[in-house]
Amino acid sequence: DAFETAYHKRFSVQPQSGKIPEQYARALQEAAAGRKPGPAPIDLTGLSQFQLKVLNVLRKVPRGEVRTYGELASLAGRPKAVRAVGNVMACNPVPILIPCHRVVPSSGGVGNYGLGPQLKRTLLAREGVRIDKL
C-alpha cells in the first residue's frame, strides 16, 4: 500500500500489479549490471512534449558518459530550463532503462537520484564512470 501511494504521488498513475514481462525484466537486469539492455517496450503516454524531448535526448547519452542538467537542457533545445530538466529526471517513469543516473550537477558529484545516491554511484561505476572525477 505504501509503495502504491508513493508511486501514485510521484507519477500520477496507479501502479498495476502482475508479472513483469520477461523482456522488460531482462532489459532492466542488463541495464542495472552496466550492460546495454535489449529492447523493452516503454509506454510514455501522458508525458508532455518537453518531457518526451528531454527523455529522448537522455536515451542517447552513451553508457559510461554523463551530462549535466544544463547540457541536457541545451540538447533538448531549452538551455534555460535546467530546473525543469531536473523535474523531468525526478519523474522519470522508468529509471535505469531511461538512464537518468547519467545526469549530474555542473557543481560536481553525483547529485540526487530518486532511487538513492548510492545506487546512482553504483550504476555509474558499473558503466565505467570514474565517480572520483565528477
Active site amino acids: 100
Query: CA dist 49 to 16, 46, 52, Å?
Result: 25, 9, 5
Cβ atoms 90, 97 nearer than 8 A: no
Question: What is the grid cell recorded at 51?
Answer: 518531457
Rounded distance between C-alpha atoms, residue 76 and residue 74, angstroms: 5
Closest CA to 26 of 15, 13, 17, 35: 35
